[in-house]
Amino acid sequence: MPPATNTSRRFTISLALILVSFVLLFFISYQSLIFQDQVLSGQNRSEKLGRIDRISSDFFSRLANAPVPGSAVPIPIARPAFPLLRVPDSSKAREIFMQIAFLPDQRQAILIDAELNSSSEEKQFWQNLLINEFFKNGSYFEMRQAAAQILESNFDCLLEYGITLKCAAALKVAESFLHENNPEAARQWLTRLRHLPAPVAVPTQPQEWISRPLPADLQSWLLFLFNCYKLSYSENVETGWYGEKDHDVLIIEHKDGLYAFPAGLVISALQQRLAENGFADVPRPAPGGLTAAAHALSGARGLKILLPETTARIPGGFLLLLLLTSLGTAGLFIFALHEWQTLQKARLLDEEEQFFRQTAHDLKTPITTVSFLAETLALKRYRDEEQCNRYLNQLQTETQKAAELFDRLLLSVRLRKKTTGAAPTSISLPETLDSLLQRFKTRLPGWEIIEEYQATEAIIADPDMFERLMINLLENVIRHAAAGRQLVLRTCRTQVNGCAEIALMVGDRGSNFPVTIDSDKLDLLKNSLPYSPERGGSGTGLFLVRQIMQTHGGQLYASRREDGGIWMVTTWRIADEQNSGN
């Protein structure tokens, strides 16, 4: 094998070792930094959680001892134990109903008079109708006065839809303020519900009580109140978190008793306290639903927080070291690549030099013979006419050999300079190969010639280049494998990159192949051509064959035959309709 190939492999191996060493160095350094960062992060995490626990414990301690905010609800809320509000059946009430039926336009005045002059047993009924009438007519001021009287009274009763009269009055007043676009006043009236008995049937949505759209905070507080109603109906109410949404409940043992706080407001206040103490980046705490890695806050009765995992940060010194190492590796890589390209060029120049040296060597014999025969004929050094004709025939043969060598040389130079290209057309393999064998049979006396045309499809190739390639391959068999005295021509289908092609195989029984084929095949397009010191190179034939196959985009490789010998294989595109259009 030429020295250029060995040197090229050494540079490739050296480059690979450099890259592997750099990757290993980076990996080891990075893992060391990761480990160091994890140790420091663990320490910082423990210290950070300790500070957060102290803030949390102080926050909930102050919450239990501070004045009760307006949003908190005492737990449990009393259950309704009032009589059901009934329609009065007295003669006075029947008279009022008759007046309302005959004088609907005076309904409000009639109800006011009934409320003022009715007995204590019937008064609440007329108050309830009067409030609804005021609300229906938009008399919000009068309605609020009536509702205030109901709330200040010592009597209450249960309405037929499950809430008490005082609760219904507070809801009507709150809704009236919403009609006037005064949500703050509506909030003050809604918060009165926390001191009123729970409804018999707990609603699920605020729209069941108030038809007007509610601001988000009021809607959330009503949902929180509904949850307090549900907890009040449970047999045992304990401190802790109930639910995972903002309108769910935190029950704590306050200094004034057991109170329920809106979970969302408490968590937001705790998060604000954490931010004020330098923990603005801490995620929002949650009462449940977090992973097992979440930390339970001190004094928070089950509230948890999940600190994000800190990613390892690469120090600036390591980045600088990595940059310098990368620049050094890049320099080595560019140098090695340049050297590899130089060696590739040197290899190609070496092969070209071998080609031209072999061509000059091959030309020397016919030119010398032509010169000798020309001198002999010029000096008439022949005995008779027959010997003269024999010299002329020999002169013509040697001249043709020289012309053929010149054609090879000219075609190789044109292919290398890309001044000529292939003119592919459809070629019938069996016919073309039979024609070539007929030309060589006179030179193959006593040879075993085997033709195995398993694939008979036409191929796409330049006819002149294909003929030159086959002549060169057959000449190599005759010159270098004559001892085996066997020539095999075989065509078969093969798959190349998922496409079907025709493999043309030229086999012999020679034993003088210059290199050892270690794998299944030796790719002669990517590797150096077989080098034979005895004949001064690889010959003109294979060099030109490789150039022709590179021009056609096919493959060229050598493989061992069973029982000795070599297959020289070329692959060609099939001349079907698809390939013909390419």
pTM of this structure = 0.48
User: What's the confidence (pLDDT) of residue 291?
Assistant: 67
d(CA 1, CA 23): 33
pLDDT tens for 65-108 read 999 888 899 988 888 888 877 887 788 878 887 887 888 888 88
| 120-134 burial code (b ≥16 CB/10 A, e <16) | eebbbbbbbbbbebb
Is residue 434 predicted with pLDDT exceeding 80? yes
User: What's the confidence (pLDDT) of residue 540?
Assistant: 59
pLDDT tens for 308-367 read 765 555 566 666 766 777 777 777 777 777 777 777 777 677 766 666 666 676 667 778
Residue 239 to residues 64, 285, 578, Cα–Cα distance (Å): 12, 18, 81
Question: Residue ranges of the domains in the chain?
Answer: 3-57+313-347, 65-305, 423-580
pLDDT tens for 384-424 read 888 888 888 888 877 877 777 777 777 777 777 677 778 88
d(CA 239, CA 287): 13
Is residue 6 predicted with pLDDT exceeding 60? no
Tally of CB atoms within 10 A around 210: 19
Q: What is the DSSP letter of 401?
A: H
User: What's the confidence (pLDDT) of residue 341?
Assistant: 77
Report the CATH fold assignment for 423-580. Heat Shock Protein 90 (3.30.565)
Is residue 504 predicted with pLDDT exceeding 90? yes
User: What's the confidence (pLDDT) of residue 288?
Assistant: 65
| pLDDT band at 11; cut points 50, 70, 90 | low
- Which DSSP string do the residues of 160-205 spell out, in sequence order? TTSSBHHHHHHHHHHHHHHHTT-HHHHHHHHGGGGGSPPPSS--SS
Quickly tell me which residue has 């239990």 as its tokens: 64
d(CA 471, CA 467): 6
d(CA 58, CA 399): 112
Those residues whose C-beta lies under 8 Å from the C-beta of residue 64, and which sit 6 or more positions away, are 252, 253, 254, 255
Quickly tell me which residue has 């390639």 as its tokens: 469
Q: Let me know: does 517 contact 382? Beta carbons within 8 Å.
A: no
pLDDT tens for 264-287 read 888 888 889 888 888 877 777 877
d(CA 519, CA 557): 11
When mean pLDDT is compared across 14-18, 101-105, 131-135, 300-304, the lowest value belongs to 14-18
d(CA 414, CA 540): 15
3-state secondary structure of 519: coil
Q: Which of 459, 467, 461, 460 is nearest to 433 (CA)?
A: 467
User: What's the confidence (pLDDT) of residue 244?
Assistant: 55
**Dihedral of CA 29/31/33/39: which sign?**
negative
Angle between helical axes of 539-552 and 463-480 (0-180°, round to 10): 150
User: What's the confidence (pLDDT) of residue 507?
Assistant: 92
